[in-house]
Amino acid sequence: MSLKALVTKTVQYNNWVVNKYIDWLSTKSEEQLNQETISSFPTILKTLHHIWQTQEYWWSHISEGNEFDFEKTLAVSSKEDVFNAIKSNSQKLVDYVENLSEEELSKNIKIESQWFQCDFSKYEYIQHAILHGTYHRGQIVTMGRNIGITDAPMTDFNFWNIYKDQ
């Protein structure tokens, strides 16, 4: 499998998972999504916001030229706004990657931020953004269980790979 096919499949899977989670969490009350529990972030909604905010940060580098506006991301806080923002960002990443060549995916992008300096390929930044979201979505399932939400959807990659076309 080519790098292009692998990365495309990965962002398509991520988009599917994001939509599954949003569909699932849309059935939960504001109270449940804002109930505090012990984790990296105190609530499910704040964890989702962090996933989106981080995807936006990496998008600003991956897309080369889109500025990351931290203040703007702080203004997004309602359930619907966070849901729409993360869905939009995930679809935007799919659309972008589907139009990149293998050479463009392999292009290095140097980042100099207040936190770190690095010079990796686009596909490595894309991979990082996806894996970061996966990590925190796992936390959301655990947070949900801790507050009585036990109906998380099955989102394993193999499940998507088998049933995505059905």
Tally of domains in the chain = 1
Percent of the chain with pLDDT over 90: 87
Q: Domain containing 104: what range?
A: 3-163
Q: Give me the mean pLDDT over the 144-165 stretch.
A: 94
Amino acid identity for residue 116 in this structure: F
How far apart (Å, rounded) are the C-alpha atoms in residues 119 and 108? Answer: 6
Amino acid identity for residue 150 in this structure: T
Q: Give me the mean pLDDT over the 10-18 stretch.
A: 97
In a 3-state reduction of DSSP, which class is residue 121? strand
* CATH code of the domain containing 55: 1.20.120.450
Q: What is the mean pLDDT of the chain?
A: 94
pLDDT at 69 over 90: no
What is the dihedral sign for C-alpha 90, 91, 96, 97? positive
Q: Give me the mean pLDDT over the 65-93 stretch.
A: 86
Q: What is the pLDDT of residue 67?
A: 80
- CA distances to 9, 54, 80, 110, 158 from 86, rounded to whole Å, are 18, 10, 10, 25, 23
Number of residues assigned to the chain: 166
